[in-house]
């Protein structure tokens, strides 16, 4: 600060009364405290652990000062004993029934196989056997006899062979020389995925997963193929992948119907940079995710973060909407009861974690209750919907009443704009949203973490491909990301899936069976396992038929 500015500031302070100066100091102290808190939060985000799981176990003593907690803990322990006893009886009944059905079955369970680094490899992988022997003239004993084999020492190791080959398709044409008016008859062949394209379905499937599943930029893929002696420009790779996204657009619409047909949808968003092709300029856009409770995921690239974007997708939806309390979703719940908001307890817990340093004692109290809440929910994870509803009514609802009483009592004991005050205010403001999960036992998760984990794939990819090249690529990118993540949620190999679906959707009449090509139905369809086995066998047999030169 210059001497003139310093003198001007001193004169300004000199004109203040004592009370005004004290008020200014308090305001600056509050501002400094807020900035220090924000700095601590940023440090924790950058350097802190990524896992939200607390390493400190739940301490029942921390809960005892609150009325009714001791009785609640006893009921939790009793319910756990009853459930364990019921599970033991059920297991004994099942074992007895099995023994009666199979009298010769052994009574003792077979020991589990070790899954160490030298354990068995998956059965679907092809095998190659190399037998190492000693020549007969080198294995003679001192008596002159030839040593006989007495056993084999077996070791196994994984090998990987990446083969790019040219699939030459020769379609034979037929004609009659005596009757040329009959025209030419051509043998029926497979419809190409991309008309006039250079890449086959297997190559395209690998390319899609490499870029949108494993986040490899086109420039890196171009260089990787160059190492194999294949000259494929990144423009060719980009156009081919986007054409696949356009071809699979009907699957995106079918997936959208599946998501909007679920009783609960989770929503979240993350920013991405979108360029204007080869022209100068870039802008900030957002990728939104809508995830149904059964694992179907819908990604959509939007130009902004305003409330018009979730309204465009969820405007006619009826059911539960689980989100992170972002204000952009509020418009969905203003009119009628078609959509019911569900709060995310992980977001609330993070707010109290961020405020821990500003009020350690209060944080210890609320942290103990939140740990108990998450423990109760974890214990009910595998329950049926009816059993989970009863569990929550008996055990979770009383605990939430204790948390609400604590929030109402402590709001007057903290500064409103302090980190702890802001966390308590947030919890009280959205309390109805946070407790709406009690309304339906089908709601398995009180957090929005599943949608966040799915959206994290975009965040990881963003660090690699940096930006989306053009906004026109948004729909195709959203389609492919949606299908890849949905495959992962349903434990479907995305490469096998795309290799099969790209061929089937290119065939005439595919529009009548679009729903059968979604990952969940594709996995459970009759013959799906056999198709995958046949595809793997065909790939293995390709090596035998390759001709060099």
Query: Higher-confidence residue: 548 or 186?
Result: 186
* Mean local confidence (pLDDT), 1-5: 57
Which pLDDT score is estimated for 474? Answer: 87
Residue 187 has pLDDT above 80, yes or no: yes
How sure is the predictor about 494, in pLDDT bands with cuts at 50, 70 and 90?
Answer: very high
* Mean local confidence (pLDDT), 373-398: 91
Residue 108 has pLDDT above 50, yes or no: no
Which pLDDT score is estimated for 283? Answer: 84
Residue 86 has pLDDT above 70, yes or no: yes
Counting residues of the chain whose pLDDT is more than 90, the rounded percentage is 36
How sure is the predictor about 480, in pLDDT bands with cuts at 50, 70 and 90?
Answer: very high
Write the pLDDT tens digit of every residue in 340-349.
Answer: 999 999 999 9
Residue 77 has pLDDT above 90, yes or no: no
Is residue 364 within 8 Å of 357, Cβ to Cβ?
no
Which pLDDT score is estimated for 38? Answer: 61
- Lowest model confidence (mean pLDDT) among 33-37, 500-504, 509-513: 33-37
End-to-end Cα, the chain, rounded Å? 78
How sure is the predictor about 114, in pLDDT bands with cuts at 50, 70 and 90?
Answer: very low
Most confident option among 18-32, 50-64, 143-157, 435-449: 435-449
Beta-bridge partner residues of 272: 285
Which pLDDT score is estimated for 429? Answer: 94
User: Using CA atoms, how far apart are residues 51 and 364, in angstroms rounded to an integer?
Assistant: 19
Helix-helix angle 494-506:528-545, to 10 degrees: 90
User: Using CA atoms, how far apart are residues 203 and 201, in angstroms rounded to an integer?
Assistant: 5
Beta-bridge partner residues of 264: 320
Residue 8 has pLDDT above 70, yes or no: no
- State how far the alpha carbon of 384 is from the alpha carbons of 90, 239, 437, 444, in Å: 15, 47, 15, 9
Q: Which segments within 360-430 are labelled E, that is strand? A: none
Output the DSSP codes for 335-349.
SSSSEEEE--HHHHH
* Mean local confidence (pLDDT), 95-110: 56
Among candidates 320, 337, 296, which has minimal Cα distance to 489? 296
Counting residues of the chain whose pLDDT is more than 70, the rounded percentage is 83
Buried b (16+ CB within 10 A) or exposed e, 330-339: eebeeeeeeb
Which pLDDT score is estimated for 105? Answer: 47
Residue 471 has pLDDT above 90, yes or no: no
Mean pLDDT of the chain: 83
Which pLDDT score is estimated for 507? Answer: 82
3-state secondary structure 218-251: HHHHHHHHHHCCCCCCHHHHHHHHHHHHHHCHHH
Which pLDDT score is estimated for 318? Answer: 93
Residue 486 has pLDDT above 50, yes or no: yes
Cα torsion 333, 339, 345, 347: sign = negative
Backbone torsion region of residue 289, taken as left when φ is above 0, otherwise alpha when ψ lies between -120 and 50, otherwise beta: beta
- Lowest model confidence (mean pLDDT) among 40-54, 231-245, 250-264, 439-453: 40-54
Which pLDDT score is estimated for 10? Answer: 63
Which pLDDT score is estimated for 53? Answer: 58
Residue 109 has pLDDT above 50, yes or no: no
* Mean local confidence (pLDDT), 78-98: 73
């Amino acid at each position: 600060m210059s001497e003139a500015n310093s003198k001007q500031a001193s004169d300004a302070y000199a004109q203040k009364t004592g009370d005004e100066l004290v008020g200014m100091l308090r305001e600056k102290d509050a501002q400094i405290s807020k900035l220090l808190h924000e700095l601590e939060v940023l440090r924790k985000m950058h350097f802190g652990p990524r896992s939200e799981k607390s390493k400190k176990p739940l301490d029942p003593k921390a809960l005892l000062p609150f009325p009714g907690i001791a009785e609640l803990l006893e009921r939790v322990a009793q319910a756990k004993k009853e459930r364990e006893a019921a599970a033991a009886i059920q297991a004994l009944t099942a074992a007895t029934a099995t023994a009666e059905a199979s009298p010769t079955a052994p009574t003792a369970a077979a020991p589990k196989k070790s899954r160490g680094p030298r354990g068995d490899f998956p059965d679907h992988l092809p095998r190659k056997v190399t037998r190492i022997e000693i020549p007969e003239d080198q294995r003679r004993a001192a008596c002159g006899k030839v040593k006989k084999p007495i056993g084999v020492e077996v070791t196994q190791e994984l090998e990987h062979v990446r083969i790019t080959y040219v699939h030459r398709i020769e379609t034979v044409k037929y004609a009659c020389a005596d009757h040329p008016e009959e025209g030419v008859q051509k043998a029926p062949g497979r419809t190409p995925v991309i008309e006039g394209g250079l890449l086959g379905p297997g190559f395209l499937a690998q390319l899609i997963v490499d870029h949108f599943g494993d986040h490899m930029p086109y420039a890196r893929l171009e260089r990787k193929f160059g190492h194999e002696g294949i000259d494929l420009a990144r423009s060719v790779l980009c156009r081919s992948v986007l054409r696949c996204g356009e071809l699979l657009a009907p699957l995106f619409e079918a997936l959208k119907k599946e998501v909007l047909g679920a009783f609960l949808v989770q929503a979240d968003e993350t920013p991405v940079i979108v360029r204007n092709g080869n022209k100068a300029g870039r802008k900030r856009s957002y990728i939104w995710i809508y995830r149904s409770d059964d694992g179907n995921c819908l990604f959509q690239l939007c130009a902004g973060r305003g409330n018009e974007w979730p309204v465009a997708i969820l405007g006619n939806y009826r059911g539960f909407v689980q989100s992170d309390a972002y204000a952009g979703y509020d418009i969905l719940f203003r009119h009628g009861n078609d959509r019911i908001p569900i709060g995310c307890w992980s977001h609330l817990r993070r707010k109290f974690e961020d405020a821990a340093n500003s009020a350690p004692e209060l944080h210890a109290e609320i942290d103990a209750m939140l740990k108990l809440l998450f423990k109760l929910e974890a214990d009910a994870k595998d329950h049926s919907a009816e059993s989970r509803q009863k569990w929550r009514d008996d055990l979770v609802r009383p605990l939430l009443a204790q948390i609400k009483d604590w929030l109402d009592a402590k709001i007057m004991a903290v500064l409103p704009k302090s980190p702890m005050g802001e966390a308590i205010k947030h919890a009280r403001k959205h309390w109805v949203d946070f407790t709406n999960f009690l309304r339906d036992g089908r709601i398995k998760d009180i957090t929005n973490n599943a949608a966040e984990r799915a959206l994290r794939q975009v965040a990881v990819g963003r660090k690699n491909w940096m930006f989306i090249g053009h906004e026109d690529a948004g729909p195709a990118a959203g389609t492919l990301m949606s299908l890849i993540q949905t495959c992962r949620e349903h434990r479907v190999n995305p490469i096998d899936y795309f290799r099969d679906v790209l061929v089937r959707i290119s065939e005439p009449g595919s529009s009548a069976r679009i729903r059968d090509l979604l990952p969940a139905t594709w996995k459970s369809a009759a013959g799906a396992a056999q198709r995958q086995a046949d595809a793997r066998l065909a790939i293995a047999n390709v090596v035998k038929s390759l001709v060099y030169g």
